[in-house]
């Protein structure tokens, strides 16, 4: 899996992602996990099976409708992408665990809004969390999050990502790909900026 975090206020949405991905062979590669749609002031971050991002990215970038309509369509999009991954790529259903985080300017709310989508098991429905203030993955509970003492801003997102990387490598060192570079997208109405925030330490070194 990967690191995917998002914070939102009425004026600003922040989405942060790492770049590390693990191939079936166990080899690590660096990949892009963010897609933007400047017309909608929208950013979507991905976590999980890379084929899901590859299948869904054209829809996010080429959507011909409102942000609100896109947000409601995403669960159906995920379902269609899952079918594609199974039929075209022979992907086992149990490996379709995926998170999407979509932030953008909501026409109905008149502000920046965050939606999160989770596929935890193929036997369960895709969860759609509407108009939430933040999203964290991986997530180890409220007590762990509170212990970091962070604010929902750019600096807080960097602190959180470093801790997520440290804890993931400590608890699941062989099957949890996280690291590489960390990018933060800042989305406002009519403005999107993406910057390389920092680089995670190589595996085997402290985060």
Q: Which domains does the chain have, with CATH numbers?
A: 4-199 (3.60.20.10)
Least confident residue range of 103-112, 148-157, 198-207: 198-207
Confidence category of residue 120, pLDDT binned at 50, 70, 90:
confident
* pLDDT for res 95: 85
Does residue 23 surpass a pLDDT of 70? yes
Check pLDDT > 90 for residue 105.
Answer: yes
Assess contact for 145 and 139: CB atoms under 8 A.
yes
pLDDT in tens, 133-177: 999 999 888 898 899 999 999 999 999 999 999 999 888 766 678
> For the residues 102-125, what does the mean pLDDT come to?
92
- The secondary structure of 95-148 as a DSSP string is G--EEEEEEEEETTTTEEEEEEEEE--TTSPPEEE-S-SEEEES---HHHHHHT
Q: pLDDT band at residue 205, thresholds of 50, 70 and 90?
A: confident
Mean pLDDT of the chain: 93
pLDDT, tens digit, 9 for 90 and up, residues 44-73: 999 998 899 999 999 999 999 999 999 999
Cβ atoms of 18 and 33 within 8 Å: the answer is yes
Provide the whole-model pTM: 0.94
DSSP secondary structure letter of residue 93: G
Of the two residues 151 and 206, the one the predictor is more confident about is: 151
pLDDT at 26: 78
Model pLDDT, residue 24: 76
| Burial class of residue 118 (count of CB atoms within 10 Å of its CB; 0-12, 13-18, 19+) | buried
Task: Tell me: pLDDT of 179 over 90.
Answer: yes
């Amino acid at each position: 899996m990967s690191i995917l975090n998002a914070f939102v206020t009425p004026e600003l949405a922040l989405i942060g992602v790492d770049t590390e991905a693990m191939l079936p062979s166990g080899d690590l590669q660096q990949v892009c996990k963010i897609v933007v749609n400047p017309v909608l002031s929208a950013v979507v971050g991905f976590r999980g099976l890379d084929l899901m991002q590859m299948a869904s990215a054209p829809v996010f970038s080429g959507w011909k409708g409102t942000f609100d309509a896109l947000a409601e369509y995403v669960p159906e999009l995920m379902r269609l992408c899952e079918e594609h991954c199974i039929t075209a790529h022979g992907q086992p259903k149990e490996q379709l665990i995926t998170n999407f985080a979509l932030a953008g300017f909501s026409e109905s709310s008149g502000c920046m809004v965050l939606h999160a989508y989770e596929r935890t098991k193929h036997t369960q429905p895709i969860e759609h969390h509407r108009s939430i203030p933040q999203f964290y993955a991986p997530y180890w509970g409220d007590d762990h999050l509170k212990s970091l003492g962070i604010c929902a801003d750019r600096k807080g997102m960097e602190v959180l990502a470093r801790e997520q990387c440290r804890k993931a490598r400590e608890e699941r060192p062989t099957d949890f790909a996280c690291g590489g570079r960390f990018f933060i997208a800042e989305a406002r109405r009519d403005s999107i900026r993406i910057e390389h925030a920092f680089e995670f330490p190589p595996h085997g070194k402290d985060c």
